[in-house]
C-alpha cells in the first residue's frame, strides 16, 4: 500500500499537484461534513479495518530499512550468518505481511467505495425521477448524468482514496522522520534543508499541470457533447438532411487536434516533473551517501545505518509532497459530495402532501381494449378557478445543471392560465380547442399533475389532486402526447412498461385494440423487435398506436390526449382515430382537438384563448354563436369537413 522509490514518489506527487488548487477557494455549505459522516456510518467497521491496514502497511514499510541496518551492521560486518538469515527472513515476512495487508485493505476499500457509490447513485436517481417536468426542460442531460457518475465517484474517493492516502502518508512520514532522527539527526537536518528545493519546482509544474488538465477535461467534455448530439437519430438525420458531413468533421477535428496538442504538452510537463523529481531524489541520495560515507569512513556512522538512512529517504519525499497538497485533495472530495447534495437538496415542487391518500378507483378492470366493466366508479375531472404561472428557475432547477448561466427567472411573472373553471362528468369527453399558446397543454398537464396550480383547485374524483398520492393519481390518469416516446428496447418492453406483469396475450390484445396488432405479428421478431432510439424504427402513426396500446394496458379511469393525432398522414390518422375510439370508450377524457371528428364526438367543447375559457358548448352551439370557435372552424376544420363530405 506504500509507494516506495523515486518513481513511486513521483507518481504520488504528480497526482497531487495536478489537482485544481482553485477548489480550496470554494466555501462549503454548513453541515456538509456531518452529512458525509452520515453516509459513512453504515460502513464504520469496514473503514476502521481499512485505516488500520493502511497504518500497519506504512509501519511495515518503514521497518524494512531498520531491518536492513541490523542485517548489515549485526550480520554482514561481523560475519554472523545467523543474523543475516533471520534478518532476510524478517524482511521477506514483512513483504508477505504487506501483501496481505494490501489485499485486505483493497477488499475493505472496495466494499466501502462500491457501497457508497450504490447508495448515492440510487438515492440521486430516485430523487431526480421525482422532480417536476419543468426540471427536465431546463436541465442539461449531460451535466445531470455527470452527477451520477463523476461526482458520485469523486465523493467515493473521499473514503477509498483521499482518507487512505492521508493516513498512510502521515504515518509513513512520521515513522521515516523519527527513524532518521534516531539514526542520525545531523543527516536528517541536511535532508530537511533540501525539502524546499524539491517542493517549490514541484508546485510550479503542478500549477501548469492543473491548468492543462482542466483545459483538457473541458475540451473532452465538449467533444463528448458533440458526439452525443450528432450520434443520436435526430442529430444524425439533421446532418444528413443538410449534408454537413465535411463541416461537422472539420469542427470535430479542430477540437480533437487541440486535445491532441494538449496531450503532448501534458506528457512533456509530466516527464519534466519526473525527471526533476528523479534528479532531486538522486541528489538528496548522493548527499546522504556523501555525508554518511564520510562519517562511516571516520567510524562515527555504521554502514548499515547509512544504508537504512538512504532507504528511508526514498520513502520521505513522496508522502511529504502529497501531504503538502492535502487541502486540495480533501476539498476536491468534499466538493464532489457537495455537488451530489446540491441535487438531493432540490425539493420537488410536485410531491405527496403529508396527509395524501390513495385515490379510489384508480385503474379500470376488464381486458385491454374492452369498455370498463365497472363504469359506476368512473372519475370526474374539475378545475375550479385555476390560475397558473410556470415556476421560476430557482424553484425547479440548478444553475450548475443548465447549459448556461440563467439571466432571469423564466415564467415567474406571467400567468399562463387565469381563472379557468370547468367540470367533466364521469364518462364524458371534453375537447379543448384554441390558438397555439392559449394554454391547452398547460390545462392537461395540471390534470395529470405535472404541475400544481398557482391558485385554485384541480380535482379528480372529487378530491384535490394535491391530497391524493401521486402513484394513485398516475394510475388513474393516462396520458398520450403528440410525440410518444419509446425506449431503445423491444416492443414487449415498451408495451409492458404500463403493466410489467402483462402476458404476451394481453400485450397483443391491447395492440389489436390499438389497430397495430397485425403489424406486430408480421414482424420477424414479433414482440422482441427493437424499436430503436426513441422509437425511430417506427413511423409516427405506429408510435402513436403503440402509445395507445400502452395506455389500454394501463387501463386508466381518466384519459388525457395532448394533440395525439397532430402531424399524421391521412392513413395513419384513420388508424389512430380508430384506436382512440376504443381507448376513450367508457372513460372520462380530456382531449386537445386538432381533428374535426374529435370535436364532433365531444360532449362539450372548451375554447381557450389567452389563458381563459372564452366559449363552451357543443359543436353546433358554438358554430351558431359565431365567436372564436366559428373562426377556428373556418380556418382549421373546414378543409377536413370538405374532405369528409
Query: Cell numbers of 476, please?
Result: 388513474
Task: Give the confidence band of 2 by pLDDT, cuts at 50, 70, 90.
Answer: very low
Regarding beta strands 455-460 and 381-388, do their DSSP bridges make them parallel or antiparallel, or are they unpaired? antiparallel
Query: Cell numbers of 422, please?
Result: 370547468
According to the model, what pLDDT value does residue 368 have? 45
Of the two residues 549 and 210, the one the predictor is more confident about is: 549
What integer is the mean pLDDT of 167-179? 86
Among 289, 288, 464, smallest CA distance to 384 is for: 464
> Side by side, which strands form the sheet with 429-433?
477-480, 558-562, 588-592, 429-433, 604-609, 612-617
Residue 625 lies in a domain: yes
331 with 421, same domain: the answer is no
Of 321, 344, 367, the domain-final residue? 344
Question: Would you call 149 exposed, middle or buried from its count of C-beta atoms within 10 A (0-12, 13-18, 19+)?
Answer: exposed
Query: Cell numbers of 306, please?
Result: 547509512
> Side by side, which strands form the sheet with 381-388?
417-424, 381-388, 455-460, 463-464
> Taking CA 217 as the corner, what is the angle to CA 211 and CA 218, rounded to the nearest 5 degrees?
90
Query: Cell numbers of 338, please?
Result: 457537495
According to the model, what pLDDT value does residue 30 have? 74
Residue 11 lies in a domain: yes
According to the model, what pLDDT value does residue 50 have? 86
Of the two residues 191 and 603, the one the predictor is more confident about is: 603
What element of type H or E holds 497? none
Task: Give the confidence band of 440 by pLDDT, cuts at 50, 70, 90.
Answer: very high
Euclidean distance between CA atoms 619 and 602, whole angstroms: 8
Euclidean distance between CA atoms 522 and 514, whole angstroms: 16
Q: Tens digit of pLDDT for each residue in 197-221?
A: 766 766 677 667 767 776 776 777 6
193 with 93, same domain: the answer is yes
Lowest-confidence pick of 187-196, 368-377, 580-589, 616-625: 368-377
Among 486, 481, 495, 441, smallest CA distance to 561 is for: 481
According to the model, what pLDDT value does residue 25 have? 53
Residue 337 lies in a domain: yes
Of the two residues 181 and 225, the one the predictor is more confident about is: 181
167 with 237, same domain: the answer is yes
338 with 386, same domain: the answer is no
Q: How far is CA 118 from CA 9, 152, 155, in A?
A: 32, 9, 12
Residue 157 lies in a domain: yes
- Its domain, for residue 511, covers 380-391+415-644
What element of type H or E holds 432? strand 429-433
According to the model, what pLDDT value does residue 405 have? 44
15 with 106, same domain: the answer is yes
According to the model, what pLDDT value does residue 616 have? 94
According to the model, what pLDDT value does residue 425 have? 93
SS3 (DSSP) at 616: strand
Q: What is the CATH number of the domain that holds 558?
A: 3.40.50.300
Regarding beta strands 455-460 and 477-480, do their DSSP bridges make them parallel or antiparallel, or are they unpaired? unpaired
According to the model, what pLDDT value does residue 132 have? 85
Whether 573 shows a pLDDT value over 70: the answer reads: no
Euclidean distance between CA atoms 137 and 290, whole angstroms: 69
Using an 8 Å Cβ cutoff, are 549 and 467 in contact? Answer: no
Euclidean distance between CA atoms 412 and 409, whole angstroms: 6
Whether 282 shows a pLDDT value over 70: the answer reads: yes
According to the model, what pLDDT value does residue 244 have? 77
387 with 292, same domain: the answer is no
Question: Would you call 397 exposed, middle or buried from its count of C-beta atoms within 10 A (0-12, 13-18, 19+)?
Answer: buried
Q: H helices of 71-194, where?
A: 81-129, 133-138, 141-146, 152-157, 163-183, 185-193
36 with 139, same domain: the answer is yes
Task: Give the confidence band of 366 by pLDDT, cuts at 50, 70, 90.
Answer: very low
Q: What is the CATH number of the domain that holds 314?
A: 1.20.1560.10
Task: Give the confidence band of 504 by pLDDT, cuts at 50, 70, 90.
Answer: very high
Residue 551 lies in a domain: yes
Of the two residues 544 and 566, the one the predictor is more confident about is: 544
Using an 8 Å Cβ cutoff, are 453 and 387 in contact? Answer: yes
Total domain count, the chain = 2
According to the model, what pLDDT value does residue 411 have? 47
Whether 604 shows a pLDDT value over 90: the answer reads: yes
SS3 (DSSP) at 449: coil
Among 450, 456, 453, 439, smallest CA distance to 473 is for: 450
Task: Give the confidence band of 77 by pLDDT, cuts at 50, 70, 90.
Answer: confident
Residue 359 lies in a domain: no
Euclidean distance between CA atoms 59 and 174, whole angstroms: 10
331 with 385, same domain: the answer is no
According to the model, what pLDDT value does residue 61 have? 82
According to the model, what pLDDT value does residue 403 have? 57
pLDDT, averaged across the chain: 80
Of the two residues 400 and 498, the one the predictor is more confident about is: 498
Using an 8 Å Cβ cutoff, are 334 and 113 in contact? Answer: no
334 with 452, same domain: the answer is no
According to the model, what pLDDT value does residue 19 have? 54
Task: Give the confidence band of 6 by pLDDT, cuts at 50, 70, 90.
Answer: very low
How long a stretch of residues is the chain?
645
Cβ count within 10 A of residue 185: 9
Among 91, 85, 87, 102, smallest CA distance to 64 is for: 91
Euclidean distance between CA atoms 168 and 43, whole angstroms: 19
SS3 (DSSP) at 366: coil
336 with 385, same domain: the answer is no
Cα 28 from chain centre: 21
Among 509, 568, 521, 562, smallest CA distance to 542 is for: 568
Q: Tens digit of pLDDT for each residue in 19-48?
A: 555 544 556 667 777 888 888 888 889 888
338 with 384, same domain: the answer is no
Euclidean distance between CA atoms 340 and 148, whole angstroms: 8
Euclidean distance between CA atoms 555 and 6, whole angstroms: 69
331 with 387, same domain: the answer is no
Q: Tens digit of pLDDT for each residue in 219-269?
A: 776 787 778 778 777 777 677 777 777 888 888 888 889 888 888 887 887
Amino acid at each position: 500500500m506504500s509507494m516506495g522509490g523515486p518513481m513511486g514518489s513521483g507518481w504520488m506527487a504528480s497526482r497531487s499537484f495536478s489537482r485544481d488548487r482553485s477548489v480550496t477557494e470554494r466555501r462549503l455549505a454548513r453541515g456538509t461534513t456531518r452529512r458525509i459522516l452520515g453516509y459513512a456510518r453504515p460502513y464504520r467497521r469496514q473503514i476502521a479495518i481499512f485505516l488500520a491496514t493502511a497504518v500497519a502497511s506504512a509501519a511495515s514499510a518503514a521497518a524494512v530499512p531498520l531491518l536492513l541496518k541490523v542485517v548489515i551492521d549485526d550480520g554482514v560486518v561481523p560475519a554472523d550468518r545467523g543474523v543475516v538469515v533471520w534478518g532476510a527472513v524478517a524482511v521477506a515476512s514483512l513483504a508477505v505481511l504487506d501483501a496481505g495487508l494490501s489485499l485486505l485493505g483493497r477488499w475493505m476499500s472496495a466494499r466501502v467505495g462500491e457501497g457508497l457509490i450504490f447508495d448515492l447513485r440510487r438515492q440521486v436517481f430516485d430523487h431526480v425521477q421525482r422532480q417536476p417536468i419543468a426540471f427536465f426542460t431546463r436541465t442539461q442531460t449531460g451535466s445531470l448524468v455527470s452527477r451520477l457518475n463523476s461526482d458520485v465517484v469523486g465523493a467515493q474517493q473521499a473514503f477509498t482514496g483521499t482518507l487512505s492516502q492521508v493516513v498512510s502518508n502521515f504515518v509513513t512520514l512520521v515513522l521515516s522522520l523519527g527513524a532518521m532522527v534516531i539514526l542520525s539527526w545531523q543527516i536528517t537536518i541536511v535532508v530537511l534543508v533540501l525539502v524546499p528545493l524539491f517542493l517549490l519546482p514541484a508546485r510550479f509544474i503542478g500549477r501548469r499541470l492543473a491548468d492543462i488538465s482542466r483545459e483538457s477535461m473541458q475540451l473532452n467534455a465538449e467533444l463528448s457533447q458533440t458526439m452525443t448530439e450528432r450520434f443520436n437519430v435526430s442529430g444524425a438525420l439533421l446532418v444528413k438532411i443538410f449534408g454537413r458531413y465535411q463541416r461537422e468533421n472539420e469542427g470535430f477535428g479542430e477540437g480533437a487536434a487541440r486535445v491532441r496538442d494538449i496531450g503532448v504538452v501534458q506528457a512533456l510537463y509530466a516527464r519534466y516533473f519526473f525527471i526533476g523529481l528523479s534528479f532531486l531524489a538522486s541528489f538528496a541520495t548522493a548527499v546522504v551517501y556523501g555525508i554518511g560515507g564520510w562519517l562511516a569512513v571516520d567510524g562515527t556512522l555504521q554502514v548499515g545505518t547509512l544504508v537504512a538512512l538512504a532507504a528511508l529517504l526514498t520513502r520521505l519525499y513522496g508522502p511529504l509532497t502529497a501531504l503538502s497538497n492535502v487541502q486540495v485533495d480533501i476539498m476536491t472530495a468534499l466538493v464532489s459530495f457537495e455537488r451530489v447534495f446540491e441535487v438531493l437538496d432540490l425539493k420537488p415542487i410536485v410531491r405527496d402532501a403529508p396527509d395524501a391518500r390513495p385515490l379510489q378507483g384508480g385503474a379500470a378492470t376488464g381486458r385491454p381494449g374492452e369498455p370498463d366493466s365497472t363504469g359506476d366508479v368512473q372519475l370526474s375531472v374539475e378545475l375550479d378557478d385555476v390560475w397558473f404561472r410556470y415556476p421560476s428557475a430557482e424553484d425547479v432547477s440548478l444553475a450548475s445543471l443548465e447549459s448556461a448561466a440563467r439571466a432571469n427567472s423564466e415564467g415567474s411573472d406571467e400567468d399562463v392560465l387565469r381563472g379557468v373553471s370547468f367540470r367533466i362528468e364521469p364518462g364524458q369527453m371534453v375537447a379543448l380547442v384554441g390558438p397555439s399558446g392559449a394554454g391547452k397543454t398547460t390545462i392537461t398537464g395540471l390534470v395529470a399533475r405535472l404541475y400544481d396550480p398557482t391558485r385554485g383547485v384541480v380535482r379528480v374524483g372529487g378530491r384535490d389532486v394535491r391530497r391524493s398520492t401521486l402513484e394513485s393519481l398516475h394510475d388513474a390518469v393516462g396520458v398520450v402526447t403528440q410525440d410518444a416516446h419509446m425506449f431503445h428496447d423491444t416492443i414487449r418492453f415498451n408495451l409492458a412498461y404500463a403493466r410489467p406483469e402483462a402476458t404476451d396475450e394481453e400485450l397483443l390484445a391491447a395492440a389489436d385494440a390499438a389497430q397495430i396488432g397485425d403489424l406486430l405479428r408480421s414482424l420477424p421478431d414479433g414482440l422482441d423487435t427493437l424499436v430503436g432510439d426513441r422509437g425511430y424504427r417506427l413511423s409516427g402513426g405506429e408510435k402513436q398506436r403503440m402509445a395507445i396500446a400502452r395506455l389500454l394496458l394501463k387501463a386508466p379511469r381518466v384519459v388525457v390526449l395532448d394533440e395525439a393525432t397532430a402531424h399524421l398522414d391521412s392513413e395513419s390518422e384513420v388508424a389512430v382515430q380508430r384506436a382512440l375510439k376504443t381507448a376513450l370508450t367508457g372513460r372520462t377524457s380530456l382531449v386537445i382537438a386538432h381533428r374535426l371528428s374529435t370535436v364532433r364526438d365531444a360532449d362539450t367543447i372548451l375554447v381557450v384563448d389567452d389563458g381563459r375559457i372564452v366559449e363552451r358548448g357543443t359543436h353546433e352551439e358554438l358554430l351558431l354563436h359565431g365567436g372564436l370557435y366559428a373562426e377556428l372552424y373556418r380556418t382549421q376544420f373546414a378543409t377536413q369537413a370538405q374532405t369528409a363530405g
